[in-house]
């Protein structure tokens, strides 16, 4: 373990050294903010694997069982999940604190430390509940359905998907932010005209108070089954002009018109099925070869399951991000096609890049691992290409 930790330290030095001094950063502001963001992301990447390797190698769960003498299976699973999550959050804390400082130093965040800690605690709580329920379901299924448990477990992801896209925006998101109806006025009327033209009369227009936390701009669309919600950050309303906002909203409407939320749910379910089948296959093989003394549903085997799961989630991340970027490109194309004057679109993208201090043209491998949207330079180039084509018509 000492060699692994030493290797990780060397890895951190290399990662931060590269991004801070050698990486070809392209930004529209004088700061290393985006480079630090890249370094923190890649610096944190191995942490979960190091933690799980240590838990497996040193049999932490067996030792916890000896200390606490849990007699109830539900309590045992809950505490094991809580301990793992707490330790993982603890070893990430130095990176999170550095990022908290950096975002405040460059002015992209003004969130109070108390509010930041509250959100961190809330995230940990919901993640713990979800992980505990998942582990309990997994253990029960493996014990009762030794051959068919992967498929049954996959079927259980369907209500999870519905929860994320239908229930979470209404019940969970308001626990974090303050949502209010978009104020009446010229902008709302213009947005309603856009939604009406797109056949989106049932959409709820909301603004969310983000200025207490960040200074960056954003808008998004969420919800299904007649529960569509178009949400604008108040920073967007304050920091961008109406033409720029309308282009962003045209992009978000494009997502809805092209049914990206539905395709996203279907894609998630297909991906989940493939992922669960792969995890089940390798979990069985590894357990039978390396840990024959344990049953598949043994609580002590959970770190092995989590290690395999995180491995496949990590290596599949470029694929899922690629799909996301394709949808964002399609939404951009919709917005461009439904916007006559594209100068505000470019001005808005430039304004967003300056405000967010983002890397507008990242290295290809950084884009693969981090970018759910096309890099801003690509989006600007596409708009400029369309403008030139229109001039020639």
Q: What is the per-residue pLDDT for 182?
A: 87
> What is the pLDDT of the chain when averaged over all its residues?
91
Could you give phi then psi for residue 115, rounded to 5 degrees? -65, -40
Q: What is the per-residue pLDDT for 224?
A: 63
Q: What is the per-residue pLDDT for 30?
A: 82
Q: What is the per-residue pLDDT for 176?
A: 81
> 227-231, 354-358, 367-371: which range is least confident on average?
227-231
pLDDT digits (tens, 9 = 90+) for 28-44: 888 899 999 999 999 99
Over 90: is that where the pLDDT of 70 sits? no
Of residues 76, 252, 329, 378, which has the active-site annotation? 252
60-83 mean pLDDT: 90
Over 90: is that where the pLDDT of 166 sits? no
Q: What is the per-residue pLDDT for 313?
A: 95
Q: What is the per-residue pLDDT for 326?
A: 96
Model confidence, pTM: 0.90
pLDDT digits (tens, 9 = 90+) for 110-140: 999 999 999 999 999 999 999 999 999 999 9
Q: What is the per-residue pLDDT for 225?
A: 58
pLDDT confidence of 226, banded at 50, 70, 90?
low
Q: What is the per-residue pLDDT for 253?
A: 87
Known active-site residue 252? yes
Q: What is the per-residue pLDDT for 329?
A: 96
The residues pairing with 220 across neighbouring beta strands, listed in sequence order, are: 231
185-218 exposure pattern, b = at least 16 Cβ within 10 A, e = fewer: eebeeebeebbeebebeebebbbbebeebbbbbe
Over 90: is that where the pLDDT of 244 sits? yes
């Amino acid at each position: 373990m000492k060699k692994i930790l030493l290797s990780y330290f060397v890895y951190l030095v290399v990662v931060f050294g590269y991004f801070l001094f050698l990486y070809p950063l392209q930004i529209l502001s004088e700061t290393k903010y985006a480079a630090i963001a890249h370094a923190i992301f890649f610096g944190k990447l191995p942490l979960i694997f190091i933690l799980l390797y240590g838990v497996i190698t040193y049999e932490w769960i067996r030792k916890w069982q000896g200390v606490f003498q849990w007699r109830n299976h539900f309590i045992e699973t809950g505490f094991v999940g809580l301990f793992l999550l707490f330790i993982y959050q603890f070893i990430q804390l130095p990176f999170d604190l550095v990022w908290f400082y950096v975002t405040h130093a460059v002015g992209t965040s003004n969130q109070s430390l108390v509010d930041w800690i509250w959100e961190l605690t809330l995230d940990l709580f919901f993640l713990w509940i979800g992980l505990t329920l998942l582990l309990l379901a997994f253990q029960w299924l493996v014990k009762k359905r030794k051959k068919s448990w992967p498929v049954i477990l996959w079927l259980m992801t369907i209500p999870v998907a519905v929860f994320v896209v239908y229930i979470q925006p209404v019940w969970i998101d308001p626990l974090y932010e303050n949502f209010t109806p978009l104020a009446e006025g010229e902008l709302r009327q213009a947005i309603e005209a856009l939604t009406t033209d797109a056949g989106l009369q049932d959409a709820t227009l909301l603004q969310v108070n983000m200025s207490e936390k960040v200074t960056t701009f954003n808008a998004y669309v969420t919800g299904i089954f007649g529960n569509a919600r178009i949400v604008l950050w108040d920073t967007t309303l304050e920091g961008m002009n109406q033409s720029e906002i309308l282009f962003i909203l045209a992009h978000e409407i494009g997502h809805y018109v092209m049914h990206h939320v539905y395709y996203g749910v279907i894609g998630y379910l297909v991906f989940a099925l493939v992922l669960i089948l792969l995890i089940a296959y390798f979990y069985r093989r590894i357990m039978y070869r390396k840990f024959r003394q344990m049953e598949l549903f043994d609580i002590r085997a959970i770190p092995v399951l989590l290690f395999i799961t995180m491995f496949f989630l990590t290596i599949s991340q470029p694929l899922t991000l690629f799909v996301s970027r394709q949808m964002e490109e399609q939404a951009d194309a919709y917005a461009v096609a439904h916007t006559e004057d594209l100068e505000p679109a470019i001005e808005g993208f430039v304004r967003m890049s300056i405000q967010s201090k983002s890397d507008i043209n990242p290295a290809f491998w950084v884009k693969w691992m981090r970018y759910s949207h096309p890099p801003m330079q690509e989006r600007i180039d596409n708009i400029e290409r369309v403008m030139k084509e229109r001039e020639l018509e």
